[in-house]
Amino acid sequence: MARPSLRLAGNAPGPFYVDSSCIDCGTCWQWDPDHFAPTGSSSQVSHQPVGAAETRRALEALQACPVAAIGAPRQVLAQTPADAFPALLTEHPAGAVHYCGWASRRSFGASSYLVVRAGGNVLIDSPRFNAQLARRIAALGGLAAIVLTHRDDVADHDRWAGHFGAPRWIHAADADAAPDAEHRVMGAAPVDLDADLRLIPTPGHTAGSMVALLGEQILFSGDHLWWNPAHRALVASRTFCWWDWPTQLASVERLADLDVRWLLPGHGGRHRFEAGGWATAIAATLAEAGRHGRS
Ligand code: SF4
């Protein structure tokens, strides 16, 4: 629980606050940029919510925070919605994509996603396990599979898999992070789970990083790529490359021919691309990497 005595000085005056237990994961301001903002070393309340709709959004950010670093008075907390997550992001013929909220400290607040679809729902990476979210996912049809994009974002995969009896997919090179996973992707060849969902190995950030492509247009990118809204740029991060940078750039090039319209990463910004925008963004990212040396 956040504590008023640890309230950060930069918070806007008012009922909501971020305290010093913030781990600077970005979950709150990515979900509610109208009320939360990064400071460079943590997040803070930039503007207090006004009215019921804004208060609900801020309470959703509070609920999603992986370390309970966001506080508010008890009478405000009592308004926390029970049905906030999974929250619909986009509907596509291949499935309805939801953000799961309930980020986990074990994955440093990584985003996870639920795809609701006729062929069986799929969880992409793992939110914090909790009964409230589990009831909501059950009401949406449960889980038929869990895809783990890489070793960092597995969080409570074992509890979700056990609760729903859902088999997990992870790349063999990262499989020690989920040793009981039922399926391992081997090597560099893409694997089609069905006609609408393809797993594409993209080693670099970690040896076993992979992305998941839904309906040819929605890319769940793990920590391989994300969107920087301030620079309006697609980012492959050398700073956060834990395994091999030249290999990561080769994995970025591998995605250049896709027609991505939604980028949904584990960390960093989500982004919707217009037609042709993906190819332009990938080319810019690779050019930027080239300017700084690729090895
Ligand atoms: S979600 Fe919580 S831990 Fe993450 S940046 Fe916001 S306040 Fe900090």
CA 192, 164, 102, 87 dihedral sign is positive
CA-wise closest residue to 104 among 175, 159, 153: 153
Identify which of 7, 8, 24 to mutate to test ligand 1's pocket (most ligand atoms within 8 A of the CB). Answer: 24
87-291 folds as Metallo-beta-lactamase; Chain A (3.60.15)
Helix count and strand count (H, E) for the chain: 7, 19
Lining ligand 1 with CB less than 6 A are 18, 22-28, 42-43, 65-67, 69-70, 109
Flag residues of the chain having pLDDT under 50: none
Residue nearest to atom 6 of ligand 1 (CA): 28
User: What per-residue string of b and e applies to 197-235 under the rule 16 or more CB within 10 Å gives b?
Assistant: bbbbbbbbbbbbbbbbbbbebbbbbbbbbbbeeeeeebb
CA-wise closest residue to 99 among 45, 158, 29, 31: 31
Comma-separated ranges of CATH 3.60.15.10 domains in the chain: 87-291
Comma-separated ranges of CATH 3.30.70.20 domains in the chain: 4-77
Cβ atoms within 10 Å of 135's Cβ, excluding its own: 12
The per-residue pLDDT for range 251-267, each reduced to its tens digit, is 999 999 999 999 999 99
Q: Which atom of ligand 1 is nearest to the CA of 18?
A: 7
What are φ and ψ of residue 211, in 5° steps? -115, 160
CATH architecture of 4-77: 2-Layer Sandwich (3.30)
CA 70 to chain centre: 19
